[in-house]
Structure 1
Amino acid sequence: MVTADFRDDLSVAYETRKELGPEYERAVLESFVAGAAESIDRRVDARLARHGQERQPDNSYVAVPVFSLLFGVGGSIWLTAGAHAEADAVFAMWLGIVLLNLVFARLVRRLHGE
């Protein structure tokens, strides 16, 4: 459902873009999107408050490091005790885990705008 405020904001952004020209188009669009996102967040928070709920923080990004650690420990035990692998295999596995977590951390930072 599109509210009147949203339509007004869209009209203002459109008129501003026409007045300022294409060189300011990106800034006008970013401003409009930021305002729309803020408006949506307020509406969701208000709806949750009406139902007696609070928005829970998204901590799903913690799963990759935790499972990586569990996989690394379990894999190390299995490689050394069960498979009788050399130390190079254990090192290669941990190197892969570290690289995976570094890439994942960069993605999380980028997604959260840090």
Structure 2
Amino acid sequence: MNTSQDELRRDLDAALQTRKELGKEYESEIVDSFLARIDSRLDARVEQRVAERLDRSGGGPSGVRGRGARLGLSIVSLVMGIPLTAIASESAGTTGLIACWIGIVGVNVASALGDRHRGRELPRDTRSEWV
């Protein structure tokens, strides 16, 4: 087992021990805390892998473009889609679930269209310092 799995096992054991000590009344808070730790570890792992792929593809934080940026956005969208789906469906039901995924798809479509638009050169007279 690697270090990450050992840490996860220790955290799970600690959560189970805490549940035994505090009782069933605090079960949901203990589970939420454990899931938050897993979520932050997952986010860190995804960010690390995205950074590694961007480094290999020649992209970087200052000049992220093209497939590397789209891949990163896609991965982050899917990772963040999981808790957002749970929150949206819990609080607003099917309507919230649909609105959540329309937003996620909209962000990805806007990014893809923006990448296509960025590839075109603007005429000299319409170019501004903001583009």
TM-score by length of 1: 0.49
Per the normalisation by structure 2, the TM-score is 0.43
